[in-house]
Structure 1
Amino acid sequence: MAVALTMAAMKVAALCHALRGERAQSAGLGAVLGIVLAGGTIYLAVRDLDLLAAAYAVWLLGWLLGPVFMGGGDETLRPEYFTLLGLPPRRLAVGLLAAAFVGLPPLVSLTALLGLVVAGARLGPVAALVAVPAMLLQLAVFVLLSKVAVGLVGLALRSRLGAISTGVLNGAILAGLGQIWVVFLALGQTGVPPLVRYLPSGWGLLAVRGSWWALGALAGLIALLLLAWAALLRLRVGASRASGRARRPFLARTADGAIVAKELRTSSRDLVRNYQFTFAFAYGVCFAASPLLVGWNGMLPYAGPVFIVMAGAMAANVYGTDGTALWLTLMTPAASDVRGRQLAWLATHAPVAVLLTVVCTAVTGGPWPLILALLPALLGGAAGLVPLISVYGLVPGTDPHKRANNPLRTSEDEGSLTGQAYLALALIVATALPAGFVAIRFGWAGVVVGIVTGALCWWGFGRLASARLRERGPELLSTMRTGRKAGGTVQSRFTELSKPRKAVAWWCFGFAAIPLIPQGILAAVFVSRDMLHHTWFLATYMPPGLRYPVALGFVVLGLAMYALGTWIVLPSRQPGTVE
C-alpha cells in the first residue's frame, strides 16, 4: 500500500510540473471534450440502458486503441525507473496501477461511469448501492486492459513479424471504426446487438440490473489482468536488445546514393517504420474494402490513395523519429538528405500504391481518370510534404536505440505528434484537390494535372525542406537533443496569444478535417457516383444543382479552417532578431 501511495503522489507531482504552456492547453481542450462525451453517456443512462452498454463498449475501445495510436500511452512513471529498487513484479504492478488512476483520462472515464449510478437510481436503492463498487471496478478494468494491450503491442513490436502483425491489426481496427456504418448495415441491426451487454465493458451495468455475479466477474478479471501486467512488466524491464543479423551492405557511389541506401535499409530494419508501413497499408485496404459487406465496391479503387495519405501522415515526423542521427547529415554537406529521403520514400511506397490502385480499380472497372489523376498528385504531395513538415514542425523524438523497451513511444510529446499527423493528412489530401476536380469535370485532363502537381510538390516542397535543413540544421539537432526549441531567434505566436485565439486555433486544427474530407471530398465522390441520401453526407441530400456546390463549400471551409489556424500560430519575427 505504501508503494502504491508513493507512486500516486509521484504522478501527481509530475503532472503538476508538466501541465504548463501548450501541454496545459491541450490537456484542457481534451478534458472539455471528454466531459462533453461523459455527459452524453450519462444522458443515455436516463434514456436507454442498452445504448448505455454500447457507449461503455466504445469507452473501452477508446482505452484499448487510444494509447496504441498515441504512442504507448501515459508513461509519466516508467517501470525502468524502479528497476534498482528490487520490487517484486506484482508489487510494482500494483504501484503503477495506483499511479495510472491519477490523471485526466481516468477522471473523465469515472465521470462517464456515473451513468451506472444514474441507472441504479432508476432501478431502485439496492441497484444504486451496487452501482458504486461496479463503477470503480469497471474503471479498473478499463485502465488495466489498456495497460495490458499496450504491453502486448510493445512486446510484439520487438520482432519484425510482430510489428507487421500489429500494424495490420491496428490498421484494420481503425479502418473498421471509420466505416462503422457499414458494419451496422451489414448486420441489419437497428438497435444494439445483444452481445454488447455481455462484453467486459457491460459487466458493471449487468450487476446494476440484477446480475450480481458480474461484480465477481469484474473482480476476477482485474486479478487476471494484474497478473498479466506484472508478467509483461517483468519481460519489459528484463528485456535486452538483440543484435541484428548481418546484412549484405547497400553499395553507393555518391553521397546522395548513400542516403538513399541508408533510408532503404532503415525502412527494412526499423520496427517502427515496419509498423507504420503495414498500418497504412492495412488501413487503406480495409477502409476501401469495408463497403463490400453491403455489396458496394465504389470505394475499392481508393485503397491506393488512402494508403498514400495515411503513410505520409504516419511518416510526417521522419527527422524526429530518427533522433539525434541528424548529426551524420550535418557532417555530410555534399549530400542532399531531403532528396535522398524523398527518393527512398517513393521507392518503398510508390510500387505498392500503384499495384494496389491498378488492381482495385481494374476489379471495379473505374473510374480510371479520377484514380490515375489522384495517384501521382498524392505520391508527389506526400513525398514533398513529409520532409517539409518534419523540418518545419519537428517534434523531438526518442533515439531508436533508447526506445527498445517501448517501440511505440517515438516522442515524448505525443500530443504535438498527433497534431502533426493530422496536419500532414489534410495537406497531402489538399495537394490532390486540383487534379481531382479537373478529373471529375474534364476526365483524362485530370491525369495531366495530377502529374504536374505531383512533380511540382515533390520538387518545390523538397527544395524548401532542403533550404530549411541547411539554414537551421544545428538548431534542429539542438532541439532533438534537448527537447527544446533553440532559443533566441524565433518565437511562436501561440504562446503569446490570448485564450480565445488559442481556442480558435485548437478548434481549427481539431475539426477542420470533418468538412474537408467526409463532407467535402467524399461527398463529392458519392455525388459523382449517384450515391444519394448517403448516411450523414449533407451534399447527397441536396437538390441536383446544389450537390457539387455544397461539397465544394465544405472543402473550402475545411481549407479555410486549416489556413486560419496556421495563420494564428505562424512564428513571428521578434524585434532585433535575424532570420
Structure 2
Amino acid sequence: MVAHLVRLRLTLLAGTLRRSVWQTIGLAVGLLYGLSVVTLLVGAAILGGRTDPVLTGQVLTVGGALVVLAWWVVPLFAFGLDATLDPLRFTTFAIPRRTLLAGLAVAGLVSVPAAVTALAAAGSAFAWASDPLALLAALLGAVAVVALCVVGSRAVTTLCAPLLDSRRYREVLMLAAIVPVLAVGPFFAWMSSLAASSGVTIRLGGDGTAGAVAAAASVVGWTPFGAPWAWAGSVHEGAWGRLAVQVAVVALTLTLAVVVWDRALARALVSPRGGADGGRARGLGWFARVPATPTGAVVARCATYWLRDPRYAASLALVPLLPLVVVVIGVTSGAGAGLLLLLAPLAAFVLGFGLSNDVGYDNTAFALHVATGVPGRADRWGRVVPVAVLGVPLVVGLAVAATAVAGRWSDLPAVLGVSLGVLGTALGVSSAASARLVYPVPKPGESAFKTPQGAAMASMVAQTVAFLLTAALLVPTLAVGLPALLAPSAALGVVTMGVGLASAGVVLVLGVRHGARTYERRLPELLAQVTAFA
C-alpha cells in the first residue's frame, strides 16, 4: 500500500504536468533553483569544514534548525494541506490507518522541497569529511532531519486542519502572517540603526560573530529542530553524554509527532471536515444598489467578494499596515518623514495588482459568466469599478495625509499624479492579464495562504510578467514624477499630475479593451482552466 500511494503521488504529479505547461515550467525552474541553492550551500559547507569544522557545524546547526522550523510553520500560512495528501481523499477507502500514515509519510518525500532538503542535509554532512565518525553521525542526522521535516509538517497541518476551516480563524491567521512578513524589513533596519548608533561593527568570521554563533548553536542544539544537526559536533568533540541526550530529543519528538499525526488522522477520517462557513441571506446586498445590467451585476458580485471574501481581504489587509512599515523604515533608516510620500503609490499598486488573477478567484462561479453570455467589456469594467471606487478615495486620502505629515504640501500634485497613475496603470494591466494569465488559487472558503499543488511557479511567472509590464508603462509618469519629488518643483508637480492621469486613463481603457477581446476569444479556454482548478 505504501508503494501504491507513492505511485499514486507520482501519477498525479505527471498528470498535472501534462495538463498544465505552467506547472511543467514551474517544476523545472523549481528543480534548477533548488539544485543551485543546494550546490551553493553544500559547497560552502565543505569548504568551511576544511578550514574550521567546529564553526561550520555550529552554523549548520543554527541554519538547519530554521529549516526544520520552517517546515513545521510555513505550511500553515503559505501552503496549507497538500491537495494530494489530504486525508479527506481517503475517507471512503478501507485502508488501515497505520498503513495510510506510513504511505502519506513516504509520499511526502516526493516533492521539490523534500528533495532539496534531503540533498542539502546529506551534502552538508561532508563538512565533517575529516572525521569519519562525525561524518557518519552527520549522515544519520540528515536522515533524522528529513523525517522531522516531513512527519512534523504533516502532524502540524493535519492537527490544525479543523481550525483552518473556521473563517474567523483564517482571517486572524492571515493577519498574523502578514504582520511578521512586513516587519522583517523594519526589524533589520532597526538592528542596523541600533548597531550604527552604538558603534558596533560586525566582521564576518570575527571573534564576536563566532561567539554569537557558538552561543546560539549551544542552545539550538538541545531543541528538536537543531538536535540532529548537532550530532556530528558532539561526536567530533567526544561529548557522548550530550549526543545521547540529543538523540533522545529527536527520537522523542518523532514519536510524539507520529502519535499526534496518527490521532489527528483518525479524527479526520472518522469526522471529515465540513465546507466553508455558511451564512444567512440578508437581502440583495450590492445587487440592489447597482443598475440591473451585466456590468452592474459583475460590479455587485465583485464588490461583495472584496468585502467578504478572506482571499481578497489579503490585499486590503496590507493597506492599513503600510503606514506603520513606512514610518518604521523612515525612522530607522534616517530617511525622515519624506519616505511617507511613497505610501499612496504603494497602496495604489497593491489595490490595482489585486485584479491580476480575478478570473482564477471566481472558481466555479465563472461558469455563470459563460452561461449567461456576459460581454467582455461588462466583465472587465465590472471588475475594475469596485476597486476604482474604493481605491481612488483611499489613495487620494493617503496622499493628502502623507504630504501633511511630511510638511510638503507643494509635492501634493506630484504625489497624486504618481499615485493615481500607478492605480490606473495597475488596473489596466491587471484587466488584460487576468484574461490571459490564469493560475490556480485557493478555493472559496479556503485559507488565503493555501496554494494548490504546482501553482507556486505559475503564479510567480504570471505576476512577474504583469509587474514588469506595469513598471514599463509607468515610465512616463515616473520620468516626470521622480524629479518633481526629489527636487521639489511646483511646475513639475502639476505636469506629473497631468501625465499620471492621462497615462492612467489611456492604459486603463486600452487594458480593459484588450482584456475584453481576449476574454471573449478565450472564453472556452478560461472556463476549462477554472474548472480544472475546482
TM over 0.5: yes
Q: Which residue is 2:433 aligned to?
A: 389
Cα drift, residue 186 of structure 1: 4.8
Aligned residue in 1 for 2:7: 9
Residue type of the alignment partner of 1:394: V
Q: Which residue does the alignment assign to 1:270?
A: 309
Q: Which consecutive unaligned segments of at least 5 residues does structure 2 have?
A: 49-54, 196-200, 203-208, 235-241, 485-491
Distance across 1 between alignment mates of 2:347 and 2:72: 23
Q: Give the distance between the partners of 2:366 and 2:228, measured in 1 at CA.
A: 51
Q: Which residue is 1:371 aligned to?
A: 415
Change (3 A) 1:258 1:170: same
Q: TM-score, normalised by structure 2?
A: 0.77
User: What letter matches 1:220 in structure 2?
Assistant: L
Larger relative CO (CA 8 A, sep 6+): 1 or 2? Answer: 2
Q: Flag structure 1 segments of 5+ consecutive residues without an equivalent.
A: 485-579
- Per the alignment, residue 504 of structure 1 pairs with none
Q: 1:173 aligns with which of 177, 180, 184?
A: 180
How far has the Cα of 1:344 moved from its partner? 1.0
Give the aligned CA root-mean-square deviation in angstroms: 3.7
Aligned-residue offset at 1:461: 0.8
| Alignment pair present for 1:308 and 2:348 | yes
Residue 319 of structure 1 and its aligned partner are, at CA, apart by 0.5
- 1:231-242 alignment to 2 at 5 Å? 233=265, 234=267, 238-241=272-275, 242=277
Matched, 1:446 2:496: yes
- Separation (CA, whole Å) in 2 of partners of 1:136 and 1:312: 46
Paired residue total: 479
Distance in 2 between residues matched to 1:399 and 1:203, nearest whole Å: 38
Secondary structure (helix, strand or coil) at the match of 2:512 reads helix
Q: Residue 281 of structure 2 aligns with which residue?
A: 246
Change (3 A) 1:145 1:364: farther
Measured against aligned partners, the alpha-carbon deviations of 1:141-173 in whole angstroms (never above 9, x if no partner) come to 333454456557865553443333222233233
Deviations 1:233-283 (A, max 9, x none): 545971112321333422033213232221111222223222343256547
Q: 1:260–1:341: 8 Å Cα contact kept in structure 2?
A: yes
Shift of the 326–22 alpha-carbon distance from structure 1 to 2, 3 Å rule, reads closer
1:321 maps to amino acid: Y
Residue 359 of structure 1 and its aligned partner are, at CA, apart by 3.6
- Give 1:425's match in structure 2, choosing from 449, 458, 467: 467
1:32 lines up with 2:32 in the alignment: yes
Task: Decide whether aligned partners of structure 1 residues 476 and 6 sit closer, same or farther in structure 2, where only a CA change above 3 A counts.
Answer: closer
Which amino acid is 1:472 matched to? Answer: R
Q: How much does 1:300 deviate?
A: 4.0
Larger radius of gyration: 2
Work out the CA distance in 2 between the residues paired with 1:312 and 1:144.
Answer: 40
Deviations 1:122-158 (A, max 9, x none): 5x33322221222122222333454456557865553
User: In the superposition, relative to structure 1, how do residues 479 and 35 fare at CA in structure 2: closer, same or farther (>3 Å)?
Assistant: closer
Q: Secondary structure at the match of 1:394?
A: coil
In 2, the alpha carbon distance for the partners of 1:411 and 1:103 equals 10
Kindly tell me: are residues 15 and 471 of structure 1, through their superposed partners in 2, closer, same or farther at Cα, counting changes over 3 Å?
closer
State how far apart, in whole Å, the 2-side matches of 1:355 and 1:145 are.
46
Distance in 1 (alpha carbons) for counterparts of 2:394 and 2:8: 48
CA contact (8 A) 1:272 1:408 kept: no
- Number of the residue aligned with 1:43: 43
Q: Tell me which residue corresponds to 1:104.
A: 112
Matches within 5 A, 1:325-364: 325-330=365-370, 331-333=372-374, 336-364=378-406
CA gap 1:80/1:52 in 2 versus in 1, 3 angstroms = same
Q: Which amino acid aligns with 1:389?
A: A
Conserved? CA contact 2:306–2:313, under 8 Å: yes
- Map 1:116-515 → 2, pairs under 5 A: 116-122=124-130, 124-147=131-154, 157-177=164-184, 181-182=188-189, 184-186=191-193, 188=195, 190=202, 191=209, 194-195=215-216, 198=220, 201-210=225-234, 211-212=242-243, 213-230=245-262, 233=265, 234=267, 238-241=272-275, 242-250=277-285, 251=288, 252-255=290-293, 256-279=295-318, 282=321, 285-286=324-325, 289-290=328-329, 292-294=331-333, 296-297=335-336, 299-330=339-370, 331-333=372-374, 336-366=378-408, 368=412, 370-395=414-439, 400=444, 404=446, 408-409=450-451, 413-442=455-484, 443-444=492-493, 445-482=495-532
